[in-house]
Homo-oligomer: A and B are copies of this chain.
């Protein structure tokens, strides 16, 4: 892998924070956060709704999940409760691993294509050679920094 630039290091830093979040804090729904924080601060739905300039019925729908508020409404709700918020990404796997995985998929497809275009009199490479070619193609794709790894079928 190449040396990461500052933007790449920054997003990796965010992803690492997300990976390390306690399990019971990951993927908490916004409606739960609103309800828990509101009760923690002893605010009634009526008071919170009034400060927002909406009806208590609408506030109840937000907390029950019947209405999903936009990010800007969400920001206003939390602002009343003296909070801002941050979106923390939680990656299944870190970017370098994902890139390797995706490059391998693309490499397989490229080799299949090459095999498909070979005429019958050409001999197909043996199993072991195919494996070497695959790794070679994967590394070539990773080094070439190409976005083509995502442009494959059946992804």
Interface of A toward B, CB cutoff 8 Å? 7-8, 10-15, 17-18, 21-22, 24-28, 30, 33, 36-37, 39-44, 47, 51, 68, 70-72, 74, 78, 82-93, 95, 98-99, 102, 145-147, 149-151, 155
Contacts and interface: CB of A to CB of B under 8 A. Distances in A.
Given A85-B87, A147-B44, A71 B30 contact: yes
Nearest to A103: B42
Contacts of A149: 42
Contacts of A87: 28, 30, 33, 74, 85-88
- How many copies, total? 2
B11 A37 contact: yes
Contact of A14 (B18, B25, B89, B146): B25
A19 B154 CA distance: 43
A17 B10 contact: no
A145 B42 contact: yes
Q: Which of A74, A82, A147 has the most CB of B within 10 A?
A: A82
A86 B146 CA distance: 30
